[in-house]
Amino acid sequence: MKKLNVAVIGCGFWGRNHARIYNDSEKTSLLAVADVKEEAVKRIGERYQVDQYLDPLEVFERKNVEAVSICTPTVTHADLALAAMKAGKHVLVEKPMTNTVAEAESLIKAAEKNGVHLAVGFVERFNPGVIEALRLVSEGEIGDVILARAHRVSRYPLRISDVGVVKDLAIHDIDIVRQLFDSEPETVYATAGRIAHGFEDYANIILRFPGNRSAFIETNWLTPHKIRRLILTGSEGLITVEFITQEITVENNERRYQPFLETREPLTLELEDFVQSVLGDTPPKASGEDGLMALRICEAALESAEKGQPVKI
Amino acid sequence: MKKLNVAVIGCGFWGRNHARIYNDSEKTSLLAVADVKEEAVKRIGERYQVDQYLDPLEVFERKNVEAVSICTPTVTHADLALAAMKAGKHVLVEKPMTNTVAEAESLIKAAEKNGVHLAVGFVERFNPGVIEALRLVSEGEIGDVILARAHRVSRYPLRISDVGVVKDLAIHDIDIVRQLFDSEPETVYATAGRIAHGFEDYANIILRFPGNRSAFIETNWLTPHKIRRLILTGSEGLITVEFITQEITVENNERRYQPFLETREPLTLELEDFVQSVLGDTPPKASGEDGLMALRICEAALESAEKGQPVKI
Amino acid sequence: MKKLNVAVIGCGFWGRNHARIYNDSEKTSLLAVADVKEEAVKRIGERYQVDQYLDPLEVFERKNVEAVSICTPTVTHADLALAAMKAGKHVLVEKPMTNTVAEAESLIKAAEKNGVHLAVGFVERFNPGVIEALRLVSEGEIGDVILARAHRVSRYPLRISDVGVVKDLAIHDIDIVRQLFDSEPETVYATAGRIAHGFEDYANIILRFPGNRSAFIETNWLTPHKIRRLILTGSEGLITVEFITQEITVENNERRYQPFLETREPLTLELEDFVQSVLGDTPPKASGEDGLMALRICEAALESAEKGQPVKI
Amino acid sequence: MKKLNVAVIGCGFWGRNHARIYNDSEKTSLLAVADVKEEAVKRIGERYQVDQYLDPLEVFERKNVEAVSICTPTVTHADLALAAMKAGKHVLVEKPMTNTVAEAESLIKAAEKNGVHLAVGFVERFNPGVIEALRLVSEGEIGDVILARAHRVSRYPLRISDVGVVKDLAIHDIDIVRQLFDSEPETVYATAGRIAHGFEDYANIILRFPGNRSAFIETNWLTPHKIRRLILTGSEGLITVEFITQEITVENNERRYQPFLETREPLTLELEDFVQSVLGDTPPKASGEDGLMALRICEAALESAEKGQPVKI
């Protein structure tokens, strides 16, 4: 079987995980890793015995590299992804796709122009608990969903980030509720604030979807104990998803139940999907358009929090 | 010890409970009950061997009745409370205090004019779990509270009500977050809808309080399994209140814990507070002004849901 | 409808509850209460406006009393029940039925001889969670049950009791596992000890049933937080019963689920069953023989704990 | 820093994990792996690029191998461990240490004679939840422990094993309660049976310790949903240990709490302890004597189940 030749750009927390999974997979050959920090790239390069680069552009020059994961700080995503696609590489960009909506649009155009696949790292889409919850909703298990509530909080005391908590954390839930309601929100209303970080570090976002359905997202970098939870309120029941344990709980009129799901590492499923989209020339589950829309909603939320008014999408 | 002579107007679910508690209390003598439905008034009157009236106004004419609980449908609250106060009776009105803000204002004036006490039946204020949660917050147990989230849902398939779910259920949480933040919300933004009832039967309300603090209230009459929950997100931890079991759970950086609180019937505590306010001539915990403000916020939420814009308080 | 005329002997915790339920029931008329303590009998007698007796024997002399609940200290059960049956009264004795096996046998004989019904107050049999768990087991929901484990602990710091924790608490679970396995244990093995009370205050009992099935009962009067739990281990799943909340949880290969059961006060169901057995002349659910067997197993457990050897039943 | 040169004998589930951890550790060099199955040894050998052997004895002949983990089927433990020690290797044997008490005794003698360290793989000793629970007990957090109850069940439908569930699963809890009570049980009483496997596949064991303290262990290979739980009943509270999530819950008179512990892989801690005992020439936490005593208690439990009588240790 032909293996896809891949490289990982950025050797921080997420880059290390991409490298590990590409290395373990039977469908990929990890050829190279890159990072501007020598120590970081050396550690991963030696671990998997692959080529090390301090300059990502040199990776893109390599003919045999077919696809790259971009796991660098957000503000660098646009330049790196554009360079990679110009060089004909398929690209998976970590979330948030880019720092701005304009940059995201340029990436989508570049992917089209260069005929490459562009995927965005919405890893929570691949969480088995989320997949099962969406499946149950689509089967009518809890009737019509009228509200989705997300709770995504955890403390980042030393977080040095180039985006705020909305683009860092809330974006996951924004992406999931777009899937859930299979539509775009009409308006966004939000409150937000900053207690201990350079950017906003807490936000509460309400998305108004067609058909009088809503989503509410609470997120922050403050609360000590980590929570990653989604509660779907339906006219006939409730589903609670615990992202961390991948458990879901369904409550209806007769009972509360928890199906025992097989746990899987969501990132593995995400990379498998990306690789499959390249090898099979099919769209990835989380496309550039998904990344763009999520970003647009994030920016609308931040604008709303500042103005105190709902913002149309 | 002098006992306060009381009567109960309205012999439905809540009236029956008021009557039972007044009858059991050592501080009150239940003298009379009234209801327009003969069967309802007869059942309670016989049970406690007290006088029965089909016309509440006749109760107010009795000299020896000092205080009344008004537990009738919401739209009748204003007329009955005004008549009772005019007759010099102290009044406890079930929530919502009245159907409209204007009516609530007239009750406050009437109480002042007639020199009687006016209390509103915000029973959740007296829930031991709520009291302990507010105490822990005031002691700084979870740092600064940045968001309060309420979840108050349950199915009322055959609900015949003269108000919608906002004034029926959300009003409890509106009252509690006013206490929690010890201030009034600056703006209210809401989404709401109607699936199976005459009035709105689901609503999602975000209240923006001074200091960039918010409250989010989810309520409906649809979800089959009953939930009454409040989660307070602080900069140093979380507190979850389960109203039904009166349990609270605190999570901070080191541990999750549940203090074992003594359970008490909140309605008993509420009536004790009302009786004490009359006997000791002190303000009740939940005053007419509290009832008015909660109602004002409810109306703002309904207006916001209709206009799609935040409404100032 | 003819009402059964009843009296309650003993006005302590349980007697008060029997009196309340008989008073509320449409099938019974509470005629009298008795207690050697004047204050206790007065409080209940006045509350329900029924005749008060300091001497229970005078109650038994009353022609119009048809049935009695005996809720006095255990050591008095035998004498009182015998006197009542001799006077032709149907008798419900609180658990443990008597202090000794010999006394229990004499009661069964007396009931036969006098042609009256004799029931024993195994209130946990009437717990809706227990009933549903036994129903699920009988339908094969968890395959063959190989072990039942009971956990019944709570602190009684000032307990003045005339029996130890085995006859006071473990007896409930002994009665339930006899029902569960629909057979008598072949042998009993136990460990027990005494830390803070006059009788044994903790015990661990293993019952060996035919077919290589077992029950393990942990009980004590020491552990601060009250637990009343039964876990049934089956070849195809588990059922956990929480007696206090009446909730059951079933776990099988695919899921964990909790049916939402209607809660009922078990004592009400127990007294309804007793009254029905008298009015319909049918055996009560918990008979004198059940009381005798449970007591026999208790005594075997205490003997085993002392000898360090299993004791045959 | 000098690294300890190690080899792993047996490349099944546990052998693979030993190999992974030795390979990742900075204190060990994995030199060789052995298994009678060529495919198994090849997979691990290639993964970590170490020498592969089909005959373990050839590994023991290598001078540079200083210590070995023996992860083969139980019946082979004795011969392999004896050969390794004779060749001067330090030995960590997976649990159960050997198939019989006599074999275990021979291993202890051989370790002494050859001057090597002998450790037994009681991995649950190294579970952070267990360590914290024992620490809390030793600090008196729940008063005197009067009963330890273990629940260790899970389905092994296709289990081909050379020992039964007592030596496979219950042995973990036997080892832990010996630590907990810091003494040996005086007697063992057990029931056991066989439903779907070659050896006993369920057992219920009660251990009677000095001072009237007991342990009860429920174990089986039948129950579909996996449970690994230990509940310690103290005179002043309860501690529940969930081995799988490593969470502990403490309940006392005032509250229930769960300290947030750092999770660690217990096997990593176990191997670190073994390596440290060799490098520092100190006894391992779980010694040959611990392995022997646990085995002796297992055999007593099996004997008791057969005879229906308690067996002295």
Which pLDDT tens digit goes with each residue over A77-132? 999 999 999 999 999 999 999 999 999 999 999 999 999 999 999 999 999 999 99
CA dihedral A119, A124, A126, A129 (to 10 degrees): -170
Q: Is a pLDDT exceeding 90 seen at residue D196?
A: no
Mean pLDDT value across chain C? 95
User: B251 — contact with chain A (CB < 8 Å)?
Assistant: yes
CA nearest neighbour of A220 among B242, B237, B177: B237
C-alpha–C-alpha distance, residues B258 and B247, integer Å: 7
pLDDT interval class at C160 (50, 70, 90): low
First-to-last C-alpha distance (Å) of chain A: 45
User: A179 — contact with chain B (CB < 8 Å)?
Assistant: no
User: D249 — contact with chain C (CB < 8 Å)?
Assistant: no
pLDDT given for residue B47 in this prediction: 84
Give the chain B residue nearest A214 (alpha carbons).
Answer: B191
Give the chain B residue nearest D257 (alpha carbons).
Answer: B257
Of B253, B254, B259, the CB nearest to D254: B259
Q: Which two tokens stand for residue A159?
A: 């977080």
The residue among A145, A216, A226 with the most chain B CBs within 10 A of its CB, best to mutate, is A216
Mean pLDDT of B245-253: 95
The residue among A177, A181, A187, A189 with the most chain B CBs within 10 A of its CB, best to mutate, is A189
Chain-chain contact of B253 with A309 (C-beta, under 8 angstroms) = no
Q: Is a pLDDT exceeding 80 seen at residue C140?
A: yes
Instruction: Quote the DSSP letter at residue B287.
Output: B
The residue among A260, A261, A262 with the most chain C CBs within 10 A of its CB, best to mutate, is A260
Q: Is a pLDDT exceeding 70 seen at residue C1?
A: no
pLDDT given for residue A112 in this prediction: 97
C-alpha–C-alpha distance, residues A200 and B57, integer Å: 58
pLDDT interval class at D225 (50, 70, 90): confident
pLDDT given for residue D162 in this prediction: 86
Q: Is a pLDDT exceeding 90 seen at residue C69?
A: yes
C-alpha–C-alpha distance, residues D188 and D206, integer Å: 6
Chain-chain contact of B253 with D259 (C-beta, under 8 angstroms) = no
pLDDT interval class at C75 (50, 70, 90): very high
pLDDT interval class at A162 (50, 70, 90): confident
- B110-151: per-residue pLDDT in tens? 999 999 999 999 999 999 999 999 999 999 999 999 999 999
Residues B37 and B43: beta-carbon distance below 8 Å: no
Of A189, A220, A227, the CB nearest to B189: A189
Give the chain A residue nearest C259 (alpha carbons).
Answer: A255
User: A260 — contact with chain C (CB < 8 Å)?
Assistant: yes
A257 contacts in C (CB within 8 Å)? Answer: 255-258
Mean pLDDT value across chain B? 95
Of D253, D254, D258, the CB nearest to B255: D258
- A183-207: per-residue pLDDT in tens? 999 999 999 999 988 899 999 999 9
Mean pLDDT of D112-132: 98
pLDDT given for residue C274 in this prediction: 98
A218 contacts in B (CB within 8 Å)? Answer: 147, 149, 216, 233
DSSP track, chain A: -PPEEEEEE--SHHHHHHHHHHHH-SSEEEEEEE-SSHHHHHHHHHHHT-EEES-HHHHHH-TT--EEEE-S-GGGHHHHHHHHHHTT-EEEEESSS-SSHHHHHHHHHHHHHHT--EEEE-GGGG-HHHHHHHHHHHTTTTSSEEEEEEEEE---TT---SS-HIIIIIHHHHHHHHHHHTS--SEEEEEEE-SSSSS--EEEEEEEETTTEEEEEEEES--SS-EEEEEEEETTEEEEEETTTTEEEEE-SSEEEEE-PPP--HHHHHHHHHHHHHHHT---SSBHHHHHHHHHHHHHHHHHHHHTS-EE-
C-alpha separations of A293 from A305, B89, B253, D162 in Å: 18, 61, 35, 59
pLDDT given for residue B162 in this prediction: 86
Q: Which two tokens stand for residue D219?
A: 């174990």
Three state DSSP letters for chain D:
CCCEEEEEECCCHHHHHHHHHHHHCCCEEEEEEECCCHHHHHHHHHHHCCEEECCHHHHHHCCCCCEEEECCCHHHHHHHHHHHHHCCCEEEEECCCCCCHHHHHHHHHHHHHHCCCEEEECHHHHCHHHHHHHHHHHCCCCCCEEEEEEEEECCCCCCCCCCCHHHHHHHHHHHHHHHHHCCCCCEEEEEEECCCCCCCCEEEEEEEECCCEEEEEEEECCCCCCEEEEEEEECCEEEEEECCCCEEEEECCCEEEEECCCCCCHHHHHHHHHHHHHHCCCCCCCEHHHHHHHHHHHHHHHHHHHHCCCEEC
Q: Is a pLDDT exceeding 70 seen at residue A157?
A: no
pLDDT interval class at B2 (50, 70, 90): confident
- State the nearest Cα–Cα gap between C133 and chain A, in angstroms: 14
C-alpha–C-alpha distance, residues A61 and A56, integer Å: 9
**What type of residue sits at position C193?**
G
Of A153, A187, A238, the CB nearest to B225: A238
Could you tell me which chains touch chain B, where touching means 3 or more CB pairs under 8 A?
A, D
User: B155 — contact with chain A (CB < 8 Å)?
Assistant: yes
Alpha-carbon radius of gyration of chain D: 20
What is the reported pTM? 0.91
Chain-chain contact of B257 with D256 (C-beta, under 8 angstroms) = yes
pLDDT interval class at B158 (50, 70, 90): low
Chain-chain contact of D224 with C253 (C-beta, under 8 angstroms) = yes
- State the nearest Cα–Cα gap between D306 and chain B, in angstroms: 45
Reduced to 3 states (helix: H, G, I; strand: E, B; else coil), residue B91 is: strand
The count of other CB atoms within 10 Å of the CB of residue B38 is 10
Q: Is a pLDDT exceeding 80 seen at residue A40?
A: yes
CA nearest neighbour of B151 among B64, B66, B244, B73: B244
pLDDT given for residue B24 in this prediction: 86
Q: Which two tokens stand for residue A267?
A: 């990132």
ipTM above 0.95, yes or no: no
C-alpha separations of C205 from C24, C149, C311, D103, D193 in Å: 39, 10, 11, 34, 19
% of residues, chain D, pLDDT over 70: 98
Q: How big is the C-D interface in CB pairs under 8 Å?
A: 116
A280: alpha, beta or left? (left if phi > 0; alpha if psi -120 to 50): alpha
Chain-chain contact of C204 with D147 (C-beta, under 8 angstroms) = yes
Q: Which two tokens stand for residue C235?
A: 């070849």
User: D255 — contact with chain B (CB < 8 Å)?
Assistant: yes
Q: Which two tokens stand for residue A3?
A: 């293996």
Mean pLDDT of D75-94: 97
C-alpha–C-alpha distance, residues C291 and C104, integer Å: 7
Mean pLDDT of C163-178: 96
Strand-pair category, B247-251 with B51-53: unpaired
C-alpha–C-alpha distance, residues D34 and C290, integer Å: 62
Q: How big is the A-C interface in CB pairs under 8 Å?
A: 23
Chain-chain contact of C223 with D234 (C-beta, under 8 angstroms) = yes
C260 contacts in A (CB within 8 Å)? Answer: 253-256
Chain-chain contact of C258 with A256 (C-beta, under 8 angstroms) = yes
- D135-191: per-residue pLDDT in tens? 999 999 999 999 999 999 998 866 567 899 999 999 999 999 999 999 999 999 999
pLDDT interval class at C196 (50, 70, 90): confident
B233 contacts in A (CB within 8 Å)? Answer: 153, 202, 218, 220, 223
- A215-252: per-residue pLDDT in tens? 999 999 998 889 999 999 999 999 999 999 999 999 99
Reduced to 3 states (helix: H, G, I; strand: E, B; else coil), residue C287 is: strand
Q: Which residues have C-beta within 8 Å of that of residue B212, sequence separation ≥ 6?
A: A191, A192, A193, B146
C-alpha separations of C39 from A282, B1, C18, C35, D196 in Å: 85, 21, 18, 9, 62
Chain-chain contact of A233 with B153 (C-beta, under 8 angstroms) = yes
**What type of residue sits at position B45?**
G
pLDDT given for residue D160 in this prediction: 61
pLDDT given for residue C2 in this prediction: 79
pLDDT given for residue D1 in this prediction: 63
C-alpha–C-alpha distance, residues A92 and A85, integer Å: 10
Mean pLDDT value across chain A? 95
D192 contacts in C (CB within 8 Å)? Answer: 212
Chain-chain contact of C193 with D146 (C-beta, under 8 angstroms) = yes
Which element (helix H / strand E) includes C181? helix C171-181
Mean pLDDT of D184-200: 94
pLDDT interval class at C162 (50, 70, 90): confident
- State the nearest Cα–Cα gap between B125 and chain A, in angstroms: 25
- State the nearest Cα–Cα gap between A277 and chain B, in angstroms: 39
C-alpha–C-alpha distance, residues B9 and B57, integer Å: 10
User: D216 — contact with chain C (CB < 8 Å)?
Assistant: yes
Q: Which residues pair with D7 in a beta bridge?
A: D32, D68
